[in-house]
Structure formats: structure tokens, C-alpha cells
Amino acid sequence: MSDQLHKRFSNSQVKALLERYIKKEIELPYILSILKVGRSRFFEILKIYKKNPSSFSIDYQRESINRKISSEVEDDILTELYIDKSLIDDSSNTIKYYNYSYIKDRLAFGYGHKVSLPTIIDRAKRYGFYSKKKKTKAHDREVMSNYAGELLQHDSSHHRWSPYADSKWYLITTLDDYSRKILYGDLLESESSWAHIEAAEATILKYGIPLSYYVDCHSIFRFVQGRDSFWRNHYKVTDEADPQFKQVTDELQIKLIYAMSAQAKGKIERPYRWLQDRIVRTCAREGINNIGDARRVLKDELTRYNSYQVHSVTGEIPDIRFYRAIDDKRSLFREFAVPSPFESTKDIFALRVERTVNSYRKISINKLELSVSGVPLREKVTLRISPDKKSGLSEVRFWYDKKLVGIQTVRNKDLNIPNF
């Protein structure tokens, strides 16, 4: 056929174009328009070329393919479609539509069947497992950054992640805008400032300090005071009080950028919807009812998303795009180091509280009195609190005049840590 690639271009012409693309001399949309191929086809060709450039050829012999699937595969497809239908019919679930791509992956990883998406859709239509999705308004899906670490999108989502769970859980994730790699993800039973600080700590210690974080206007990230009323006069306005998370990012010189609308948050909400859809479907199939097993499902889905899924916007697998940017020095991550005069990561990734030393050389926090030495009376001391959920204990580090003047261990419940 005249529209076939090998009849429109010679091997040397395609090789030259691929080399220019690899050297970043031409952009992806340009080479796609020249070759007149789709993204997936292009990256298949690029993969073959990179594997063995010297023997690369676009000439091929079409092989005959037996498109008939076995009765076993047919039954497994129908089994998965029936499960999806039961989830859709249950109004208490968030699942409203069939996900044929999920079923395709489920057949591959769960059953060992390699089945094409058109085959699954054909069976779905043939047996009545098909429903048209509602048309939604298109979003701007362009990458906003030019470097890895330039902009990390960070947020949480509160959902019933398993139909068998008694309660909703929080999913906290951090996504690198440039590569679309999800750098951090965890499910939690409750949300707090400390949970988000822990997420930042895990991300920064592993990858480095980013240029900026993109967050919403939740009180965990930004102080926003309401209007004055007859009953209450407000004296503080937006950004006059720094939340715990912002104090951490300020100390590390990380810029916080606030999404001012739900539409502005759309880019990070898409991975949430993708994860939510797949996690709920897998938890339903495996009968999961506890957060520990759900975390395992989340871990598997993050691995699939980061390491195997070609992203629809970038046209690349997030891991490959991310680490290539690191190797090519297209990164704005800074190496983490504890800033002076502090001595430990527990001084940085911590909850901060200021207290005044009383005449008995003590400070009070949540009706608990702690002795402080090396600080003059009536002077303010900063407590940097690092809670440990497993042990139920917090390390409280006392700082005065840029010096560490004491360390104490206190029970989390005595400090009322859940309120942070």
C-alpha cells in the first residue's frame, strides 16, 4: 500500500530523522507529521532503532495472524466484563463506566493472556457490556515545565478506595510535571500537616530539593482567613500566618504555587482518577477491605504507571522521561543538605511551635509542661517536633538563638499530634 512507511521512505531517510529526534534537533509533533505515523507506532520504530541502529530496517514481510482466540481467553474476557458490570450496577461505588484498558492489563498480568484492546471492545459490544461515556469539557494538558524538578504537583484525594472498606482513605501523591512520574504515593486513614511533611521528606531525600510545589488552597498549605462578621473580627488575612507545610518549604527555599480553581488542579487530578479507577477495580476483584492490602495494590499500580505506561501527553514512559532528564542535566533538583545551623533532618522536616519560657524555666504545650535549660526567662524557644507513628513517640528538639539547647522524647498523644 502506498501509505505504508517502507514505501514512502528509505531506511537511510528514517534513520536520519530518528537521529535528529534523539539529538533533540526536531520535536515529536514535527517528526510525526513527516512520517505520518501515530505516537505508539513511532515509539515502536524508535525502540527497534535504538536496539540495533546498524541493522535497522523498515522493510518487513507481513506475517499471517490467527485472530481467533481460544474459548479459555473468551471466558476470561467475559469474567472480567461481568465483574466490571457488577461494580457499575452498585451505586455505592465510584465506578461508572467499563475500563477496557484495565481489563486488557488484567488479562495480561493476571491470566497471562495477550489480548488486543479492539478484541475486548468487540466482545463487550457483542455481549452487551458497553456504554458510551459522557462527553466532558477538554482540559489544557500541556506540560507546564521544561525540566525535571521544576514543578512538583502535590495533593490529596479522599475516596472509598475499596467497595469492601468501611471508610474512606486519603491518597497523597506528588507528581513531577515534566515527566509525569509520580514520585510519592501513599494511602492514609487520616490527613494532617505531618502526613504532607512526611511526603515531602520522602520525596526530597530521594530525589532532591525541587524548585517549586504546586498545591491547592487547603489550610494545610495556605492560611486563608474568612470575612469579618458581626460575631468575630478577623485581624489576620491570607498568608499572614504560615502553615506547617509552608514553613518547611520556606526553609528549603522551595516556592509554593497555589492552584486558584478546580480547573487549575485538573492536571494532577487526572492521575488521581486513573489511580482511583484501577485501585477500586483491583480491590473489588481481590476482596480487599483493609488499608494495608490496598497499599500493596497502590504500589503495583504506581509501578505500572511509572515504569510501563506510555503517558498520553508526553508520549513517553514517565520513568524513562524522568531519568533521561536527570542524565541530560535537564533537572532543577538541588542536592539536599541540612541547612546551617541545623543538625538533623528532624530539624527541617518537623512540626514547629513557639513557646515562652516561664519563671520556672518551663514551657507549656497542650497542658504538658517541659523543662528547658540554656534559655533566659521570658524568652521564646522554638520546638521542632518529629513524631513517629509506629512508636507513638515524638522527638522534641529545642532551639534558641540558632542553637540546639535540648532534646526530649514525648508521647504523641500528650502533644495532641493528630491536631497538627
Which residue matches cell numbers 504546586?
Answer: 214
Which residues, 6 or more positions from 411, have their beta carbon under 8 angstroms from its beta carbon?
Answer: 392, 393, 394
Question: Would you say 280 and 97 are in contact if contact means Cβ atoms under 8 Å apart?
Answer: no
Q: If DSSP codes are grouped into helix, strand and coil, which group holds residue 408?
A: strand
238 domain-assigned: no
Which grid cell is 46? 524508535
**Mean pLDDT on 207-222:** 89
Share above pLDDT 90 across residues of the chain, in percent, rounded to a whole number: 51
pLDDT in tens, 256-271: 998 865 555 555 556 6
DSSP 128-185: T---PPPP----------SSBTS-EEEEEEEE---TT-SS-EEEEEEEETTT--EEEE
- The pLDDT, as a whole number, for residue 232 is 39
* Whether residues 314 and 272 fall in one domain: yes
- The pLDDT, as a whole number, for residue 405 is 95
* Whether residues 160 and 213 fall in one domain: yes
Q: Provide long-range contacts, Cβ within 8 A and 24+ apart, for 70-73.
A: 73/107, 73/111, 73/113, 73/115
* Whether residues 199 and 302 fall in one domain: yes
- The pLDDT, as a whole number, for residue 196 is 95
* Whether residues 186 and 313 fall in one domain: yes
134 domain-assigned: no
**Mean pLDDT on 390-411:** 95
End residue of a domain, out of 297, 327, 357: 327
- The pLDDT, as a whole number, for residue 420 is 58
Share above pLDDT 70 across residues of the chain, in percent, rounded to a whole number: 86
Residue 221: give the domain boundaries.
152-225+252-327
Assess whether pLDDT exceeds 60 at residue 350. yes
Dihedral, CA atoms, 382, 240, 153, 344, nearest 10 degrees? Answer: -10
* Whether residues 319 and 369 fall in one domain: no
Assess whether pLDDT exceeds 90 at residue 174. yes
144 domain-assigned: no
* Whether residues 221 and 353 fall in one domain: no
- The pLDDT, as a whole number, for residue 261 is 59
pLDDT in tens, 305-328: 999 888 888 889 999 999 999 999
- The pLDDT, as a whole number, for residue 45 is 87
**Total number of domains constituting the chain:** 4
Question: Would you say 164 and 288 are in contact if contact means Cβ atoms under 8 Å apart?
Answer: yes
* Whether residues 270 and 297 fall in one domain: yes
Question: Would you say 191 and 221 are in contact if contact means Cβ atoms under 8 Å apart?
Answer: no
* Whether residues 190 and 307 fall in one domain: yes
Question: Would you say 396 and 407 are in contact if contact means Cβ atoms under 8 Å apart?
Answer: yes
- Quote the mean pLDDT of the chain: 85
End residue of a domain, out of 91, 109, 126: 126
63 or 208, higher pLDDT:
208
246 domain-assigned: no
204 domain-assigned: yes
* Whether residues 201 and 322 fall in one domain: yes
CATH number where 287 lies: 3.30.420.10
* Whether residues 157 and 103 fall in one domain: no
- The pLDDT, as a whole number, for residue 223 is 66
* Whether residues 207 and 281 fall in one domain: yes
Please give the model's pTM, rounded to 2 decimal places. Answer: 0.75
- The pLDDT, as a whole number, for residue 204 is 98
* Whether residues 412 and 360 fall in one domain: yes
- The pLDDT, as a whole number, for residue 137 is 54
266 domain-assigned: yes
Measured distance CA(87)–CA(163) in Å, rounded: 9
239 domain-assigned: no
- Tell how many helices (H) and how many strands (E) occur in the chain: 14, 11
pLDDT in tens, 96-120: 889 999 999 999 888 888 999 999 9
28 domain-assigned: yes
Measured distance CA(113)–CA(387) in Å, rounded: 47
Measured distance CA(377)–CA(399) in Å, rounded: 14
